[in-house]
Amino acid sequence: MVLNELAQGLRPAAEGVDWFEGLSEDDQRKVLHALVLFCGQARACKQDVSESIARSGIGPTHTPAVMLTKWRFGMDRLPAYELTRSFRLLAALFSIADTRRRTLYCVGGCGHAWHNLPDPPRDAT
């Protein structure tokens, strides 16, 4: 749910990073693996890479960005200190691809539950 909310701009990226960093390392790696699958399902393409690097805020020379530039997706196997960067990058890539998919294939509505999310609840404080 959180990943789709991030992709659709229903949840701020910083909130997504906080959520991700609150997970155990094992769960972070599972989330990255899921994000790779979601990117494939949303039809991410190499032309999306430079925009995803720019949106993620990570440097183009950081390992996850270099990997993505070479269209390699094994970010879930990187050292722990690279996991948050990988998350930011893959979340940006998923957002780009999912937005294009919703615009081209799901315009006017669709039956995908993940494209019809309610606004997430906000803390009242």
Q: Which domain does 55 fall in, by range?
A: 2-115
Residue 101's pLDDT is what? 86
pLDDT at 125: 43
Residue 60 counted as domain residue: yes
pLDDT the model gives residue 102: 75
Residue 121 included in any domain: no
Per the CB < 8 A criterion, the answer to whether 68 and 89 are in contact is yes
Residue 122 lies in a domain: no
* DSSP letters spanning 49-77: HHHHHHHHT--TTSHHHHHHHTT---GGG
In our burial notation (b when 16+ CB lie closer than 10 A, e otherwise), range 61-96 reads ebebbebbeeeebebbebeeebbebbbbbbbbbbbb
Is 124 contained in some domain? no
Q: How confident is the prediction along the chain (125 residues), in pLDDT tens digits per residue? A: 889 899 888 899 999 999 999 999 999 999 999 999 999 999 999 999 999 999 999 999 999 999 999 999 999 899 999 999 999 999 999 999 999 987 876 666 655 444 444 555 555 44
Q: What's the pLDDT at 119? A: 57
Cα-Cα-Cα-Cα torsion 80, 85, 90, 91, nearest 10 degrees, comes to 110
Report the alpha-carbon distance of residue 11 to residue 33 in Å, rounded: 20
pTM to 2 decimal places: 0.83
Q: Is residue 73 part of a domain?
A: yes
Measured in degrees and rounded to the nearest 5, phi and psi for residue 12 equal: -65, 145
Q: Is residue 22 part of a domain?
A: yes
- Counted domains in the chain: 1
Residue 16, domain member (yes or no): yes
